[in-house]
């Protein structure tokens, strides 16, 4: 063993006394992640009411600030949110439609907020939400931060009461979803909606996280030219390739409905694409009926280059339209609003065992990043994406010995 190997292992073993031995959680026990986000603050009323609730439920959230609302009083609320572990993000200076602005105007809108936020918390904003969800390529080209949307809970409409707003939150909740809400001054109905929704979400196993933590724990890096409403984990780490379908015309890819019917619940469809901010959809088509049917299914996962559709989502759409595979005239992968190029589609089948040992961040590679993630988790300052992959000695306990074995395995691959 080289001197470097010995030194690294000695440091790890010596550090063992600082670590805890923690039981391995089953997948059923792993928290589902949800990101609450709030637009149109800051202020000293509604913003603080929401912060009180976040403290009550040990929750974190992300606040998208309007620059013109930042003053000496509301800055105190911003600092309070930041000190609680919440994230401070950008919603433009004036909350104007920005798609028709010049590059210089766009940059000025975002820079104003960043300067104000930096004065308060010492760092700029992490993400950007376009006012009115109005986007254009000129905005993507001139704004550095990733773009965030979220599920619409209609809490900006005065005739939508707290119970309805809570219902929108609860019905839209799933692992990785981003919830779009508003902490504008006087928006008391959203505060009341959170009093209904947050305890129920906690009961259902959700953990409230910032957007940065959501991306990190889902194993994703935010990209340009995408408007995110959810950040799902890549779902096919435990799938194997069954069939590749090459694209004949690059715009659409027909799928075999008979094959999909035979595969049942255990398949996923993965497609590689390029050329548009919107991911492709799967369209269920029945043109031989009156009225005709065209049902678009959004991908469970997408990252700007790759999209994945799950069998369960396709089957849910069939149930919604009261059809089965045999009833359809076609199932097609295609663009949904805009131009897109499809290179190929892969039919993937679920495998019996999924975890790549050591790949605790589920990026399909075992490397130093996984070691760092496990070490931080054992120290109580981080999280694991895949706990099963960290159990190197298969004793259902994750502790310093797993970290040592992981380091040895990595060094063996390097040297």
Active site residues: 39, 182
What Rg do the C-alpha atoms of the chain give, in angstroms? 24
In whole angstroms, give the CA distance from residue 139 to residue 124.
18
In whole angstroms, give the CA distance from residue 88 to residue 124.
8
In whole angstroms, give the CA distance from residue 269 to residue 347.
5
In whole angstroms, give the CA distance from residue 263 to residue 244.
15
Please confirm whether the linkage preceding 398 is cis (ω < 30° from 0). no
Q: What are phi and psi of 331, to 5 degrees?
A: -130, 125
- Which helix (H) or strand (E) is 348 found in, with range? strand 341-350
Cα distance from N-terminal residue to C-terminal residue, the chain: 9
What is residue 327's DSSP assignment?
Answer: G
Cβ–Cβ < 8 Å for 402, 392: yes
Query: 118 is written with which tokens?
Result: 């930096």
Cβ–Cβ < 8 Å for 62, 38: yes
What sign does the dihedral 215-216-220-226 (CA atoms) show?
positive
Select from 269, 256, 287 the least CA-distant residue to 344.
269
CA-CA distances (angstroms) from residue 111 to 64, 103, 106, 116, 139?
14, 12, 9, 9, 13
By the 10 Å C-beta count (0-12 exposed, 13-18 middle, 19+ buried), 241 is classed as exposed
Q: What are phi and psi of 77, to 5 degrees?
A: -65, -40
């Amino acid at each position: 063993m080289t001197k470097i190997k010995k030194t690294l292992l000695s440091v790890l073993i010596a550090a063992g006394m600082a670590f805890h031995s923690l039981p391995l959680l089953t997948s059923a026990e792993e928290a589902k992640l949800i990101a609450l986000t709030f637009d149109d603050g800051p202020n000293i009323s509604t913003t603080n009411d929401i912060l009180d609730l976040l403290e009550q439920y040990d929750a974190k959230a992300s606040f998208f600030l309007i620059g013109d609302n930042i003053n000496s009083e509301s800055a105190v609320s911003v600092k309070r949110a930041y000190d609680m572990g919440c994230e401070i993000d950008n919603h433009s200076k004036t909350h104007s439609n920005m798609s028709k602005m010049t590059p210089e105007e766009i940059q000025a809108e975002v820079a104003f907020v960043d300067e104000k936020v930096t004065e308060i918390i010492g760092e700029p904003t992490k993400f950007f939400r376009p006012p009115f969800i109005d986007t254009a390529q000129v905005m993507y080209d001139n704004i550095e931060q990733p773009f965030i949307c979220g599920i619409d809970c209609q809490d900006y409409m005065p005739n939508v009461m707290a119970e309805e707003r809570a219902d929108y939150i609860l019905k839209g909740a799933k692992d990785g979803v981003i919830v779009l809400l508003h902490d504008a001054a006087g928006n008391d109905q959203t505060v009341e909606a959170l009093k209904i929704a947050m305890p129920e979400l906690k009961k259902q196993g959700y953990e409230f996280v910032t957007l940065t933590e959501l991306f990190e724990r889902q194993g994703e890096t935010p990209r340009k030219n995408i408007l995110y409403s959810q950040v799902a984990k890549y779902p096919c780490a435990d799938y194997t390739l069954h069939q590749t379908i090459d694209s004949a015309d690059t715009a659409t890819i027909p799928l075999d409905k008979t094959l999909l019917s035979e595969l049942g619940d255990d398949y996923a469809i993965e497609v590689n694409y390029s050329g548009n901010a919107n991911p492709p959809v799967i369209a269920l088509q029945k043109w031989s009926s009156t009225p005709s049917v065209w049902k678009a299914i959004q991908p469970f996962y997408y990252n700007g280059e790759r999209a994945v559709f799950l069998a369960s989502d396709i089957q849910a759409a069939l149930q919604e339209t009261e059809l089965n595979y045999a009833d359809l005239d076609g199932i097609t992968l295609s663009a949904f609003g805009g131009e897109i190029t499809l290179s190929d589609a892969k039919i993937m089948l679920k495998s019996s065992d999924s975890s790549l040992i050591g790949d605790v961040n589920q990026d399909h590679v075992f490397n130093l990043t996984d070691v760092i993630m496990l070490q931080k988790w054992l120290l109580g300052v981080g999280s694991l994406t895949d706990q099963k992959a960290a159990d190197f000695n298969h004793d259902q306990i994750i502790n310093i010995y797993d970290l040592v074995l992981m380091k040895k395995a990595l060094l063996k691959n390097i040297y």
